[in-house]
Amino acid sequence: MQSHRPALCLLAIAVLAGRPARAQSAADLLQQAIEQHQNARFEQSLELLNRALSATTDPTLLGRIQLYLGVTHAIMDNEAQARLDFRAALTSDPALTLDGLGLKRSIEELFREVRQQMHGELVVKANRPGLVFVDGKWVGKVPLKVRLTIGPHVVEVRGSDGKPRYSSKVMVAADHRLTIVAKLGGVSPGRRPRPPRAAPRRRLWTWVAAGGAAAALGVAIGLGASADANNSEYWADGTRPERGAELEDPIRSKALGANVMFGVAGALAVTSVLLFFLEGRSSRPDGQAWVAPLGQAPGAMVSVPFP
């Protein structure tokens, strides 16, 4: 039995030696290429990137590999190939940017130029009329078909009052048509919305005027009563002539004051009546118009290549 052990060991070594080495993943190759790129070994970086390119079909990873191919070709002054690589990268992943790579402005401008030349199509439909805004700019009315540069955009559908009814972040891909079906909530056609019941208004100046009228009326009655008492004393039998002369001026003053205060009370009473109707004219608090809320619901989104 022991005589067979050397033979078995030799067989195991042969099997292990004949087994192919594990193939490196595209992500590993990309990382190695980035390291070579950072060390200015651009030829080695290109070789690793091309190997990585043939080792994956994942669109996001493909986009990063093609992006570094474009950057490397741009550094090596191969602008034509860099344009092709950038276009391929943005076709795979339209969200790609050069942020954080610390590249020359000329390379960033080349990448931006390629992006600006790539377009997709946005179609917006909705169950109600609306105004379509893309990135805060008005582009048309629902239904809408518009050509946009690739990449992220914010799409809003607003009502006639300018208030957003639907909002979504979208990604426009090169040579693709992105269709949005926005569901705008609201009141059913033919039904008029019932405004909320307004809170009772505080008629401040109405009550100030009414209070002033009551106070003036009280003063007038008091002065009138006092003047009447003095007048009765003036005409009473047995009143001394000297006392009668003393009462003449107070009677006149009090009578005049009473008449004036009666007039003030009447004017304030009329003012309070007018203010009662004026302050209650608006049925909306703070004079703001009520707008029926429409609400918002998510819509369907479909992106397909151009036919």
CATH of the domain at 87: 1.25.40.10
Asked if residue 233 and residue 100 are part of one domain, the reply reads no
Vertex 64 angle, CA 58 and 69, to 5°? 120
- Which helix (H) or strand (E) segment holds residue 107: the answer is helix 105-116
| Average of per-residue pLDDT across 256-281 | 77
Strands (DSSP E) found in the chain: 119-126, 131-134, 137-141, 144-149, 151-158, 164-172, 176-183, 297-305
| Average of per-residue pLDDT across 118-122 | 94
User: What is the residue range of 39's domain?
Assistant: 25-116
Write the pLDDT tens digit of every residue in 169-217.
Answer: 999 999 999 999 988 765 444 445 455 555 555 677 777 778 887 887 8
Q: Does the predicted model carry a pTM greater than 0.75?
A: no
Domain membership of residue 193 (yes or no) is: no
Please tell me the total count of domains within the chain: 3
Looking at residue 141, its pLDDT comes to 93
Asked if residue 299 and residue 182 are part of one domain, the reply reads yes
Contacts 24+ apart (CB under 8 A), 62-69: 62/89, 62/92, 62/93, 63/89, 63/90, 63/92, 63/93, 63/96, 64/30, 64/89, 64/93, 64/96, 65/26, 65/30, 65/33, 65/89, 66/92, 67/96, 67/98, 68/30, 68/33, 68/34, 68/37
- Where does the pLDDT of residue 225 fall: very low under 50, low under 70, confident under 90, or very high at 90 and above? confident
Return the bridge partners of 137, or none. 134
Separation CA 137–CA 50 (nearest Å): 41
Separation CA 285–CA 168 (nearest Å): 33
Asked if residue 109 and residue 60 are part of one domain, the reply reads yes
- 8-state DSSP, 198: P
Separation CA 23–CA 270 (nearest Å): 99
Asked if 198 and 283 count as a contact pair (C-beta separation under 8 A), the reply is yes
Nearest to 132 by CA among 178, 95, 90: 178
Asked if residue 29 and residue 110 are part of one domain, the reply reads yes
| Average of per-residue pLDDT across 259-288 | 68
Asked if residue 36 and residue 107 are part of one domain, the reply reads yes
Strands 176-183 and 297-305: antiparallel
Asked if residue 34 and residue 100 are part of one domain, the reply reads yes
Which of 16-25, 128-137, 245-254 is the most confident on average?
128-137
Asked if 302 and 168 count as a contact pair (C-beta separation under 8 A), the reply is no
Looking at residue 287, its pLDDT comes to 34
Nearest to 76 by CA among 114, 53, 110, 42: 42
